[in-house]
Structure 1
Amino acid sequence: MIDPRRLRVLRAVAQHHTVTAAAAALYLSPSAVSQQLASLESESGHTLLTRSTRGVQLTAVGRILLEHAHSVVAQLEQAEAELAAYADGEIGEVAIASFATGIAEVVAPAIGHLAALHPGIRVRILDAEGDESLPMLLDGAADLAVAVAYRGAPREDDRRLTRVPLYAEPFDAVLSAADPLSGQPRISLDQLADRDWIGPYPGNPCHDVVLLACEMAGFAPRLIHSSDDFRAVVALAGAGAGVALVPRSALSGMERRNAVVRPVVGNAPTRRVFAAVRRGAEKHPPIRPVLTALTHSTPTLP
């Protein structure tokens, strides 16, 4: 096996034509250079140099090895440069697990921010429901999670995770334009206690928010229709199938045919969105700028 460090010595000798000049360029003693060359000849099994009054000349085999030395040293230089860039957070890949609205509201804008400031960082997106991203993070399937606080989630003081708050948003009430309450500018949840409800499936963090909000208002919602797709929820509400609570950002730009959206009076239910990494990874070079980009890309909600 040829020691690549000795290839640098061969290149220096080929460039300077004397052992003394090569040693000076490499900040080594002439004897050290001679020892390195002797070891290189032993490793290659060939005579690489001839000495004359004109200095040191490479043999035919030495010239062949020199060509490979140029390639090897160039690869090593590139590896060192990439390692240095990685250490500085300039290159790398970060896998982010996030729920769909988080991708649209935070992750996608953050990618644009990163492309301008850290073009060497690649982001890989994993679409995951709000209750899936943290397990994926802890299992190592993702480097970073954009998640929602929910019952059964790891506690805020969980020593396995570091959290960075991103934004909090209210849930708005969605109901049919034909509903008698649709003419009100605001709606209290207790006014919806006798309605049929449309909501996410159990396990979805928004399901917990809806149940808790209705519980705080003094009733248990009569959940008739279930969907994790807020477009379907709004369409069903517009058709008069029931009422729903939907995060405000999820309603942005959505077609609301025959559906109206009203803010909730009083203690409105809220979705708290945060970024999480495995504890200690927040200082990992490629992850650190991604976290910064996420915090700079949080939405401004109406």
Structure 2
Amino acid sequence: MIDTRRLRTLQAVADHGTVTAAAAALHLTPSAVSQQLAALEHEVGHRLLVRDGRGVHLTAVGKIMLGHANEVLAQLERARAEVADYTTGAAGEITVACFATAISAVLAPAITALRASAPGLQIRVRDAEGDQSLTMLLDSEADVAITVDYRGAPDPADRRLHRVPLYAEPFDLVLPQTHPLAAEPPHPPTASLAALADETWIGPYPGNPVHDVIAFACEQAGFTPRFAHCSDDFRAVVALVAAGAGVALVPRLALRDMNLQGVVVRNVPGPERHVFAAVRRGAESHPLLRPLLTTLRDLSDRTPT
């Protein structure tokens, strides 16, 4: 009989690429992970992993087992959901990993709404960038991830995840007041990215999903942006623009209620980020998760972007 805990270990190693990283995610020692994998290989009767430098990669049999592991673990999530539905109903605690803008736009309002409609539901929030929250979800450190598509993200068809689309958020161009494009007539207040190919850019660090959106938008306009200043805090980004240090693309909701003194905001066609909620596949019917996912979707329909 195959131990499901060993399937979870195989999944973690496949996700993280090394035994050491998988051990950290599972809160185990590398030695314990290696023992779990060795035991799983003994149960299956085939090698599942091959060392590749400092990392590991799956053998053909390993890939087959990973596919089944994803299905088995998703079915266990469904079983937990049904048992919870039967025994406790919508009372308990869940953890949501979410980036700051979406916390303000939809998660905080959802918590307010659920206080009346699902008083037994307690929500713990963890501020995490989009590339961090999915990892937390897959490592069972969070029950829900509110995140965005980004380079290197799990494919939308990834069978480990159930996605709930929320909203698409445009990006706006933020310019110093002294910039030539800032002096253009504001009707319509649009600008072309192609005209900014030689500018100094301000934006998030590489690895942040917003950095990927900006880089891709500029590539589509025919150039690679030259980032001279980096900050993951959009208020800091806008402050640097106001100081004349460069130009920036900023998600529209991040500019809401922000002090925009010293800058001019222009619409630009094209760049946007697609925000969605994700849970581990099979958990979408859990009585603690259903009301949150439904409320997030309803609020997103009314979120002005």
TM-score, shorter chain, exceeding 0.5: yes
1:122 aligns with 2:122: yes
Q: 2:303 corresponds to which residue?
A: 300
| 1:171/1:84 CA distance change after superposition, 3 Å | closer
Q: Secondary structure at the match of 1:187?
A: coil
Contact conserved, 2:85 with 2:287, CA < 8 A, in 1?
A: no
Larger gyration radius, structure 1 or structure 2? 1
TM-score, normalization: structure 1? 0.70
| 1:92/1:86 CA distance change after superposition, 3 Å | farther
CA-CA distance at 1:87 after TM superposition: 4.6
Counterparts of 1:261-276 in structure 2 under 5 Å? 261-264=265-268, 266=269, 268-276=270-278
Counterparts of 1:103-252 in structure 2 under 5 Å? 103-184=103-184, 185-252=189-256
Tell me whether 86-95 or 139-148 shows the greater mean CA deviation. 86-95
CA-CA distance at 1:161 after TM superposition: 0.1
Q: Secondary structure at the match of 2:102?
A: helix
CA-CA distance at 1:84 after TM superposition: 8.0
| 1:92/1:224 CA distance change after superposition, 3 Å | same
Cα distance in 1 for partners of 2:90, 2:222 equals 53
CA-CA distance at 1:94 after TM superposition: 1.2
TM-score, normalization: structure 2? 0.69
Cα distance in 1 for partners of 2:113, 2:278 equals 19
What is the aligned-residue RMSD (CA, Å)? Answer: 1.5
Which amino acid in the other structure matches residue 273 of structure 1? V
Cα distance in 1 for partners of 2:107, 2:231 equals 23
Cα distance in 2 for partners of 1:235, 1:159 equals 42
Q: 1:7 corresponds to which residue?
A: none
Q: 1:257 corresponds to which residue?
A: 261
Contact conserved, 2:174 with 2:266, CA < 8 A, in 1?
A: yes
CA-CA distance at 1:130 after TM superposition: 1.4
Shift >6 Å, 4+ stretches: 83-86
Contact conserved, 2:168 with 2:272, CA < 8 A, in 1?
A: yes
Cα distance in 1 for partners of 2:169, 2:135 equals 23
Cα distance in 1 for partners of 2:278, 2:271 equals 22
Which amino acid in the other structure matches residue 108 of structure 2? A
CA-CA distance at 1:260 after TM superposition: 1.1
Offset from partner CA, 1:49-100 (integer Å, 9 cap, x none): xxxxxxxxxxxxxxxxxxxxxxxxxxxxxxxxxx987756421111100001
Which amino acid in the other structure matches residue 95 of structure 2? A
Unaligned 5+ runs, structure 1: 1-82
Contact conserved, 2:176 with 2:247, CA < 8 A, in 1?
A: yes
CA-CA distance at 1:226 after TM superposition: 0.3
Contact conserved, 1:168 with 1:270, CA < 8 A, in 2?
A: yes
| 1:87/1:288 CA distance change after superposition, 3 Å | farther
Q: Secondary structure at the match of 1:131?
A: helix
Tell me whether 167-176 or 291-300 shows the greater mean CA deviation. 291-300
Cα distance in 2 for partners of 1:84, 1:284 equals 7
| 1:171/1:112 CA distance change after superposition, 3 Å | same
CA-CA distance at 1:257 after TM superposition: 2.0
| 1:226/1:210 CA distance change after superposition, 3 Å | same
Cα distance in 2 for partners of 1:293, 1:174 equals 32
Identity, % of aligned positions? 61
Contact conserved, 1:95 with 1:142, CA < 8 A, in 2?
A: yes
Q: Secondary structure at the match of 1:211?
A: helix
Cα distance in 2 for partners of 1:102, 1:84 equals 28
